[in-house]
Amino acid sequence: MSDIFKGYRGDALALLKAHGVRVWSDAEVTTTRGAFAGIILPRSETADDKHIVLKLRNGYNVGLTTSTVVGIKEIGYKEAHYKIPEKAFPHDPAKPRVKLLGTGGTIASRLDYRTGAVIPAFTPGELYGSVPELAEICNLETEKLYGVFSENMGPEQWVGTARAIGREIEKGVQGIVIGHGTDTMHHTAAILSFMVQDSPVPIVMVGSQRSSDRPSSDAALNLINATKTAAESDIAEVMVCMFGPTSDQYDLLHRGTRVRKMHSSYRSTFRTIGDVPIAMVSREKIILLRDDYKRRRADRNVTVNTAFEEKVSIVYYYPNMKPDIIESLIDNGYKGIIIAGTGLGHVNKPLYPALRRAHERGIAVYMTVQTLWGYVQMFVYDTGRDIMELGVVPAANMLPEVAYVKLGWALGQSSDPAAVRDIMLRPIAGEITEREPHNGYLILQGGIPEVERFVSSYWK
Amino acid sequence: MPRIFDYGELKDKDYAGLGFKSGLEIHQQLDTQKKLFCRCPAGQYYEDYDAEVLRHMRPTLSELGEYDGTALMEFKTRKEIIYQLNKKNVCTYEMDDTPPFELNQEALDIALEVTLLLRCNIVGELHIARKQYLDGSIPAGFQRTTILGTDGWIPYRDRRIGIRQLGLEEDACREVSDRGHRRVYKTDRLSIPLIETVTYPDMRAPWEVAEVAEILRELARGTGKVRTGIGRARQDVNVSVEGGTRVEIKGVHRIPYIPRLTHFEALRQANLLELRDELRRRGITKDSLHSIAGDVTAVLDRTAFSPIRRALERGWRVTAVSLAAFKGLLNFPLQPGRDFASEISERVRVIACLDELPNIIHSEMVNSPLTTEEWKRVRGSLRARKDDVIVLVWGDARDVLTAAGEIVIRAGEASEGIPSETRQAFPSGTNGFERILPGPDRMYPDTDMPPVALEDDRIERARGQLPLAPWERREAYRRLGLSNDLVEALSRDGRGGLVLKLAETLPLKLTVPAVVISQTLKHLERNGFPVSRLDDGALTDLFRRFSGGEFAREAFPDILKLAAAEGLSPAESLARLGIFRLADGAVREIAGIVAGLERTLEPRDPVKKFRYLMGILMAELRGKADGRRVAAALEEALGNGQ
């Protein structure tokens, strides 16, 4: 039995009840501002209780102020039924088998124009309807693991996803695509790089920056390119596949431990930090940008290690930070702290006693850089040397978020500081690199004439 | 019998006989500082650009598993869309890389004024919607739009024209080019605030549509807060006839074009209904339309017809489509100079992107470009029947496939009547296909933006600032005793209302301010003087001084020029120009001196002498004494001297 007053409360709810009408009523409403006719729609939960929403015959929605309403008459009733017709995803025995695991985010959707609802399309049939190009690439199966906004992803979902990946590999899938919200895609990509090792097949994370109900959305192209990568490439690593430029040209395949979301909204937000991406992928081809990647294998072996210790925190240092921040982590039983320090990996003196106390309590403390690019190098200044004396371990060029998930994973395997240190500093999936190439840091500054000339000569 | 009549040949009753109905959708840019959903400056147009972005548009399935007709059409065209960005007037919002900012409140208040003038019912809360456009004219693939009011009306002749709604929305990009599979847009105009006035289809004849468009334009301009100039207001006109479908002619820039356009469209529809009736008589329906398509590239490899020759040289294909029993119908006239075959050609141009014309030929063309032998071979290759009409199209393999499909689709639609389309206007008054008319269901709520409450006090503030509606203004000017010409001129002028205010406060003959406002200022503006710097306060002060005799009428242009060019007040301009009022005695004295010159002049025509002396006098006295006073003084002086 659906809620006939969906979303309405307070004054608005009282108004509907008083006039004997409900959501989906086709109604004529008389108000002090004139007469309106249309279908009463549900009210959004975050909107106030002083208006009712009507979908007019011309397709527009309007709100009518409850205090202006004089009368409402129901002349009909039009309940919404979301019935999505199934089309079967065509099967071609010659094509590779790819599995799409959903964790959240809407990689494809449909619109109910009557109500304005955006309905996720996720089954192979629904995806085939929205993005028919997928059938030219592979035979697709889908499974919805979770349906959360990515800021709500956590160890429970990471573990579940890693195990699902392991199961699919053992069943002989030829590639895996993971639909994920973009906000924490890089966190998940990193932890999966540790929880799922030596995969014989590509594991490609994908999402969309612009919602998939829009004609201009990056969703379809990202999905096509991610699926192509999973089906056809020989890159057997955990990768993020998202737009290169903001133009509809190609996606980039970023190694899962070196990728980060770098802009709150641009399509081109994901970038590899401190190195170059693995490849460019478009509908026509995959262009490798390097050759030091793990290759695809024919076997079905994979190592799944889902250990995770939750009590780890990232501390973003700022001038005048007080030691009580660290103290409270210690007193609350945290087992690991990742510091994002300034410059080469620095914090202020007042924190030192707290850091010493943490070390004495056996808490694992690692240093990364706020600047994101560059190595931690704590010998260069006194500050760094002092901090190392306090037991803080430099984490080379691991990104702060990557170090956070790795420390959680390492502490999940051992509480012995030496063992943990060994795990942290031994690169497993490119999270620490020995060398930073000159083109690992290329932030072009707008406004400079030669930069403007360059940018204007290519599609952005 | 197809009907081709020129505009002017039909009368009221003829249009009534056709069941002519027409409505308007007028898009008018608002004169705001910033754009509607971002803080970029509005109204700046540039030709150069700093960067380009490439996008493609994809349709979104409805929950019924169907695509909207327009969306599907645009998707079939497989266009690459390029946007040119100039950083002075677009930001990441226009590129669709940043969510929208708060709705421009200045735009909302202006829209509210127009909503009140149109007597609409005002909503309690604005809900912003997304209206999908897949032609690429908006980078996001949808336009953000909302309505403020519904069901208003304006008086017209002895009845009312209903106003369906008044909406506030973003303007779209300007098209730079559209060739083959690439369309290029400029983004400067994108997101400038627009109001959209939609009437009910209450107009019954072509001239009525133009007259109502004029009234609505004046109404908006009366607020003084809308942009003027070419392209700042665009009219879309809907036309239908009895038994027909609503067809929209989009983007009519000039109101005088409207009567011919609606006239020819009404006749086009009537003619399409005749064509349908003929097809029905022949027993042809969409499902029973028998057609065969086949590749005839090899058959025509030696043709002399150059478009096909060139296509073959490029390695393109030629396809023939037979349309059984369409005999004699491809030449069916629909508009002057445009027959049914041209409707097919247009579909092929727009949807298959075969835009080098001619893009089709057919077997019933009067001057056949192929030989009889060639047609025979084509028919043979298709195994077509003797009576079957053949249409030939050529192009790249994928495009020609799309084209063949569209030819059959359009032929099928002819058997049903008038397809629901958006058409584009041609200067001759005829029109051509632009796109399939979008379904009503391509709008859905924009969840990026919260609803905006329209409170009573905001509405009352807007009501307090309302200008007079056009019919009210005309009445008021007439009551002041101004000539019809001046009444018309002031009604079209955003500053016209100032004359009414002056009428209340100054003991002044209003012809002078009426002429200054409607003619002098306009003239200066056209010559590049920034007259917008002169606000109502400055002009009122100026007229007050004139009324007090501080300067003569002839000085207005010079004073206004200086004030506009250098941002001076009227007092400062007068001082700078050294203009002051000469007393009568001084005028007579100076006239007397100049009259004395007359004695030194050769005997000449007295009228020419008078003019010559007036010239000398006015050069000195212009602005300090008006021409009539000076002429009277000179006459007197000359008379005395004789």
* Per-residue H/E/C for A334-366: CCEEEEEEECCCECCHHHHHHHHHHHHCCCEEE
User: Which of A50, A119, A247 faces B53 most closely, judged by CB atoms?
Assistant: A247
Q: Which of A134-148, A431-445, B479-493 shows the lowest mean pLDDT across its residues? A: B479-493
The distance of Cα B237 from the centroid of its chain, to the nearest Å, equals 10
For B459, name the nearest residue in chain A, comparing CA atoms only: A33
The two tokens of residue B286 are 């969409």
User: Which of A 68-87 lie inside 8 A of B, CB atoms?
Assistant: 68, 82-85, 87
Q: At what angle do helices B584-597 and B627-641 cross, to 10 degrees?
A: 50
> Does residue A342 carry a catalytic annotation?
no
pLDDT top residue among A281 and A107: A281
For chain B, percent of residues with pLDDT exceeding 70: 97
Q: Helices B105-117 & B206-222, crossing angle to 10 degrees?
A: 130
Q: Where are the alpha helices (DSSP H) in B521-583?
A: 521-526, 536-547, 556-566, 570-577
Nearest 5°: the CA angle B303, B309, B312 is 110
pLDDT in tens, B509-530: 788 889 998 889 889 888 888 8
Residues of A (228-257) whose Cβ lies below 8 Å from B:
246-249
Give the pLDDT of residue B67.
Answer: 64
Provide the shortest C-alpha distance from residue A65 to chain B (in Å). Answer: 5
Q: What pLDDT, on a 0 to 100 scale, did the predictor assign at position B440? A: 61
Structure confidence at residue B324 (pLDDT): 82
Average pLDDT, whole number, for chain A? 93
- Give the model's confidence band at B263: pLDDT under 50 very low, under 70 low, under 90 confident, else very high: very high
pLDDT of residue A406: 98
Q: A259, A257, A274, A181: which is closest to A409 by C-alpha?
A: A257
Minimal Cβ distance to B97: which of A34, A35, A267: A267
- Predicted ipTM? 0.89
Question: Are the C-beta atoms of B80 and A249 separated by less than 8 Å?
Answer: no
Model confidence at B268: pLDDT above 60: yes
Average pLDDT, chain B: 90
**B346 burial class (0-12, 13-18, 19+ CB within 10 angstroms)?**
buried
Q: Do B139 and A216 touch (CB under 8 A)?
A: yes
Angle between helix B470-479 and helix B484-491 axes, rounded to 10 deg: 140
Paired tokens of A57 = 């015959």
Task: Give the 3-state secondary structure of residue A175.
Answer: strand
Q: Rounded mean pLDDT of A299-328? A: 97
3-class DSSP assignment, residue B362: strand
* Contact flag A65-B147 (C-beta cutoff 8 Å): no
Q: Which residue of B has its CA nearest to A86?
A: B65
Distance from CA of B62 to the nearest CA of A (A): 5
pTM for this structure?
0.83
End-to-end CA gap in chain B: 83
**Interface contact A110-B61, CB threshold 8 A:** yes
Q: How far is B60 from chain A (nearest CA, A)?
A: 6
Q: Do A267 and B64 touch (CB under 8 A)?
A: no
Q: Which of A49-53, A397-401, B331-335, B606-610 has the lowest mean pLDDT?
A: B606-610
pLDDT at A86: 63
In angstroms, the Cα distances linking B547 to A162, A350, B507, B571, B581 are: 88, 79, 7, 14, 12
Among the ranges given (A421-430, B131-140, B437-446), the one the predictor scored with the smallest mean pLDDT: B437-446
Give burial (CB, 10 Å; 0-12/13-18/19+) of B556.
buried
B50, B58, B151 member nearest A34 (Cβ): B151
Task: Give the one of A35, A58, A121 whose C-beta lies nearest to B121's C-beta.
Answer: A35
Radius of gyration of chain A (CA): 26
Contact B132 A215 (CB under 8 A): yes
Residue B411 C-alpha from the chain's centroid: 32
Rg (CA), chain B: 32
Instruction: For residue range A199-239, list pLDDT tens digits in order.
Output: 999 999 999 999 888 889 999 999 999 999 999 999 999 99
A228 is catalytic: no
Q: If you search the block for the tokens 């349908």, which residue do you land on?
A: B276
Within chain B, what is the greatest distance between any pair of CA atoms?
106
Beta carbons of B124 and A210 less than 8 Å apart:
no
Partners of A33 on chain B (C-beta within 8 Å) are 121-124
pLDDT digits 0-9 by tens, A33-65: 999 999 999 898 888 999 999 999 888 999 999
Contacts of B142 in chain A (CB under 8 A): 214-216
Which two structure tokens, joined as six digits, stand for B82? 């390029």
Average confidence (pLDDT) over A286-302: 97
Q: Is A34 on the interface with B (CB under 8 A)?
A: yes
Amino acid identity, residue B545? R
Whether residue B367 is predicted with pLDDT greater than 80 in this model: the reply is yes
Closest-CA residue of A relative to B120 is: A34
Partner-chain residue, chosen from B59, B63, B164, that has the shortest CB–CB distance to A58: B164
Neighbours of B6 (CB within 10 A): 12
Question: Are the C-beta atoms of B436 and B419 separated by less than 8 Å?
Answer: yes
Strands A336-341 and A364-369: parallel
B436, B73 in Cβ contact below 8 A? Answer: yes
Q: What is the mean pLDDT of residues A428-445?
A: 94
Peptide bond into A202 cis (omega under 30): no
Touching check for A116 and chain B: CB below 8 Å?
yes
- Residues of chain A with C-beta less than 8 angstroms from the C-beta of B124: 31, 33, 51, 62-65, 68
pLDDT in tens, B202-260: 999 999 999 999 999 989 988 889 998 888 999 999 999 999 889 999 989 889 999 99
Q: State yes or no: is A161 an active-site residue.
A: no
Pairing verdict, β A393-394 and A364-369: parallel
Is the pLDDT confidence value at A280 over 70?
A: yes
Q: Which tens digit of pLDDT belongs to each residue from B573-609?
A: 888 888 777 788 888 888 888 888 777 777 678 888 8
Longest CA pairwise span in chain A (Å)? 80
Dihedral angle sign, alpha carbons of residues B178, B181, B184, B189: positive
Q: What is the C-alpha to C-alpha distance for residues A385 and A379, in angstroms, rounded to an integer?
A: 5
Picking from A240, A292, A289, the residue whose alpha carbon sits closest to that of residue A268 is: A240
A234 is catalytic: no
CB-CB under 8 Å, A110 with B56:
no
Strands A279-281 and B333-335: unpaired
Residue in B with minimal Cα distance to A30? B121
The CA-atom distances, in angstroms, between B163 and each of B63, B204, B233, B262, B462 are 32, 15, 18, 19, 19
Query: What one-character DSSP code corresponds to residue B173?
Result: P
Separation CA A243–CA A266 (nearest Å): 9
Q: Are strands B129-132 and B51-55 parallel, antiparallel or unpaired?
A: unpaired
Nearest to A113 among B58, B92, B443 (CB): B443
Measured between CA atoms, the residue of chain A closest to residue B54 is: A247
Contact (CB<8Å) B60/A87: no
Catalytic option among A103, A123, A161, A182: A182
Q: Contact B516/B545 with Cβ under 8 angstroms?
A: no
Summarised one tens digit per residue, pLDDT across range B56-89 is 988 776 655 566 666 667 777 778 999 999 999 9
Which of A64, A116, A265 has its CB closest to that of B97? A265
Band (A1; pLDDT cuts 50, 70, 90) = very low
Residue B544 CB neighbours (<10 A): 15
Tally of CB atoms within 10 A around B470: 22
| Closest chain B residue to the Cα of A34, Cα to Cα | B121
Number of neighbouring beta carbons within 10 Å of residue A381: 14
